[in-house]
Structure 1
Amino acid sequence: MSAPDPDDVRLAGDVVRAAGRLAAAMRDEGVEGLAVAEKTSVSDVVTAADHAAEELVAQRLRAERPGDGLLGEEGVDEAGTTGRRWVIDPVDGTYNFLSGLSWWCSALALLDGDELVLGAVYHPHEDALFVGGPGLPTTRDGQRLPQLDDVPLARASAATYFHPAALAGAAGRAFGRATGAVAAVRMLGSGSMDATAVAQGRLGLVFQHSVPTWDELPGAALVRGVGGTTRHEVVDGLDWYAAGAPTAVAEACAALAGR
């Protein structure tokens, strides 16, 4: 795949950093002012910071990339006319964000048709910006990250999420097969942040079922930019997503499917 336009790379980094800094500043002003609302559960929440950060990104992209489509977790949905679409996750890890934990970020991805072009993730706690893609070596603050070591699942630490109440049944059995084959399991609460850890070689892979587009694509781009792989595996009607070291991903998908 050819390298993305450097202006798109610059823009993605600029807007995702601005979104993360805005959200962090709003949190620093006090949780009481964030107008918290539940979405699907007590741990799936949205705040005024999510909405403000998403609108900041959308406004900037409308101004600098008119005609490109937009899709945001908090409601922005514009088709566009160019065939390109920006996917926005203004605060990934909102429950962590509200709880005062550092494992949250702002994330963004660019699609050209169905093709993933690039992803950008900004981690305010470390003031760290990650940018990468299938045709763009992944960097942290402009410094290129090394290619991933390929490791088997038994030697890989996996980040994942599965709601405890859903462990019974076929989905829980698939989850148990995969987690039972890894070296260690981590549930950290932000898919894009988990992907930054994979891209830096700190985790072997991430996997989870029913992952929304905004939770998948920014991190997928970073993982692919360091030689990792991404894959979907449908098991008993559920779409599982995995990203990381190629061997670990293949073995995780086989375990999920019971092969």
Structure 2
Amino acid sequence: MPGGLLPGPHRPARRRGRRQPLRVRTTVSDALYTELLQLALQAAGRAGELLRDGRPADLAVAATKSSPIDVVTEMDLAAEKLITDLIADRRPADGILGEEGASSEGTSGIRWVIDPLDGTVNYLYGLPTWAVSVAAEQDGEPVVAVVTAPMRDETFHAVRGRGAWATGVWAGERKLACRPAPPLDQALVSTGFNYVADVRAHQAAVAQRLIPLVRDIRRGGSAAVDLCDVAAGRLDGFYERGPDRPGSGRRDRWPGKRRRDRWPPRRATLGRT
């Protein structure tokens, strides 16, 4: 060879336009998730502003659901309509499932799951702990979620593969992290109660058994806010336990006979790093 150089290893010429499926899929997913997140933030933010600034002084119950104390107000309905109208305008091929009855089948593989006002009783009474929840599923798997708590001026959001974050005037923008799980007797836990009297009685018995075992129990009135507070390290855990309704396929049936409770409660979120 000229100059005494040995030929190097054979390297096949790179073909232009060579497909890289994994990278392409990842890029497409990232772009889609960013689009869904921005829409969820906008929808939840607008609904939160409507609920905060538009609450009538004479707000009353518009309807009830599972029991006379499981209430819906005109503002629940207005907030859900605002969210669903915005989503339908921006992404008309997506499906929708709303707490207050909004439902539509989609063709895109994306479905939005919406609770326009979590903590309606608090809102009805003028208490500040309530939230708007907007999430997006892709082929049945959650990929984006937003919870905004307007009276705390705080918004939580999570995207699959990117972690969970909070923004607000209280502590700025930060990545969420649970507290290290403490011994049970040092745990501050939160819970919620059902609106059906028989289930509430069962839950009260569970709370009676639990309270001597933990630091204390909180009952804020919005499970969405409670779960975000667990994620932010403000609570050590959240649980809600009640007999299952008929048709669930489990042996714990509601409101008939039940087997002896298992401990700890099945439905629980415990803080962990």
- Report the CA distance shift for 1:165/1:179 in structure 2 as closer, same or farther (over 3 A): farther
- Report the CA distance shift for 1:133/1:198 in structure 2 as closer, same or farther (over 3 A): farther
Find the aligned partners of 2:225 and 2:102 in 1 and give their Cα distance.
22
**2:57 aligned partner:** 30
The answer as to 2:231 corresponding to 1:199 is: yes
CA shift for structure 1 position 72: 0.4
Q: Which of 163, 182, 190 in structure 1 is aligned with 2:214?
A: 182
**2:42 aligned partner:** 14
CA shift for structure 1 position 97: 0.3
Find the aligned partners of 2:112 and 2:144 in 1 and give their Cα distance.
10
1:53-84 deviation line (CA, Å, top 9, x unaligned): 10110011111122111000110011211222
**2:131 aligned partner:** 105
For 1:233-244, list aligned pairs within 5 A. Answer: 236-237=252-253, 240-244=266-270
1:154-186 deviation line (CA, Å, top 9, x unaligned): 3321111235754656x6655555555332111
- Report the CA distance shift for 1:168/1:20 in structure 2 as closer, same or farther (over 3 A): closer
Structure 1: unaligned runs, 5 residues or longer: 212-233, 248-259
The one-letter code matched in structure 1 to 2:190 is: A
Find the aligned partners of 2:251 and 2:205 in 1 and give their Cα distance.
11
1:11-66 deviation line (CA, Å, top 9, x unaligned): 11110010111122221x3234x553333334321111111110110011111122
Structure 2: unaligned runs, 5 residues or longer: 1-25, 244-249, 255-264
CA shift for structure 1 position 126: 2.3
For 1:138-153, list aligned pairs within 5 A. Answer: 138-141=164-167, 143-152=173-182, 153=184
SS in 1 for 2:213: coil
The one-letter code matched in structure 2 to 1:14 is: Q
SS in 2 for 1:197: helix
The two structures have a TM-score, normalised by structure 2, of 0.71
Identity of aligned residues (%): 34
The two structures have a TM-score, normalised by structure 1, of 0.74
**2:19 aligned partner:** none
- Report the CA distance shift for 1:198/1:18 in structure 2 as closer, same or farther (over 3 A): same
CA shift for structure 1 position 235: 7.5
Find the aligned partners of 1:69 and 1:90 in 2 and give their Cα distance.
16
The structure in which a higher percent of residues are strand is 1
- Report the CA distance shift for 1:201/1:246 in structure 2 as closer, same or farther (over 3 A): closer
Find the aligned partners of 1:35 and 1:236 in 2 and give their Cα distance.
32
- Report the CA distance shift for 1:85/1:181 in structure 2 as closer, same or farther (over 3 A): farther
CA shift for structure 1 position 244: 3.7
The answer as to 2:181 corresponding to 1:154 is: no
Larger radius of gyration: 2
Count of aligned residue pairs for this structure pair = 222
Find the aligned partners of 1:188 and 1:43 in 2 and give their Cα distance.
17
- Report the CA distance shift for 1:180/1:115 in structure 2 as closer, same or farther (over 3 A): farther
1:158–1:185 contact (8 Å) kept in structure 2: yes
The answer as to 2:87 corresponding to 1:58 is: no
CA shift for structure 1 position 98: 0.9
2:199–2:242 contact (8 Å) kept in structure 1: no
- Report the CA distance shift for 1:172/1:31 in structure 2 as closer, same or farther (over 3 A): same
For 1:78-157, list aligned pairs within 5 A. Answer: 78-141=104-167, 143-152=173-182, 153-157=184-188
Superposition RMSD on alpha carbons, in Å? 2.9
- Report the CA distance shift for 1:177/1:82 in structure 2 as closer, same or farther (over 3 A): farther
The structure in which a higher percent of residues are helix is 1
- Report the CA distance shift for 1:85/1:179 in structure 2 as closer, same or farther (over 3 A): farther
